[in-house]
Amino acid sequence: MATALGSNPAQMVRDAEQNLGTAAAPVGSSQLTVASTVYSFVPKKAGRIVFLIAATNAGTFTLKAGAYPPALESGQGDYTTAALTAGNFYAITVDPSRHMQADGSIQFSTSAVMTVWPLMASA
């Protein structure tokens, strides 16, 4: 279930979506407009990975379970959000120990058209 982003974003829980409301979105080369297909993002290193999502349409966002190894927690399976509300932005932090694929990528999919920014957050 999405909750409003607290005053300290460093305390975001991994594999949990945070509703950012209707704030302005960043513009950059990492922007992807996706729908109903599995996509991959290869981070420079496993650490704090955040997906910023603009829910153009209502739907869900799924982080695919990783491969063991390197994803030691891959047995927990995919992570799928609750329904994301159209017109809102969401931040989803990623647990690489659950979602990292053997090639180092993080795979994700959406159930509707959404704009996704995969980001590396500083430690």
Q: pLDDT tens digits, residue range 4-15?
A: 444 444 455 667
Q: Indicate the pLDDT class of residue 104, thresholds 50, 70 and 90.
A: confident
**Residue 98: per-residue pLDDT:** 92
What is the identity of the amino acid at 62?
T
How far, rounded to the nearest angstrom, does the alpha carbon of residue 32 sit from its chain's CA centroid?
12
At 108 the three-state DSSP class reads strand
**Residue 13: per-residue pLDDT:** 65
Q: Who has greater pLDDT, 120 or 94?
A: 94
Residue 94 has pLDDT above 50, yes or no: yes
Fold of 29-120: Jelly Rolls (2.60.120)
Domain segments of the chain: what residues? 29-120
Q: pLDDT tens digits, residue range 23-79?
A: 445 544 455 666 667 788 887 776 778 888 989 889 999 999 999 888 999 999 999
Residue 118 has pLDDT above 80, yes or no: yes
At CA 35, angle to CA 120 and CA 14, rounded to 5? 35
99 vs 63: CA distance, rounded Å:
7
DSSP notation for 44-98: SSSS-EEEEEE-SSSB-EEEPP--TTT-TTGGG--EE-SPBPTT-EEEEEE-HHH
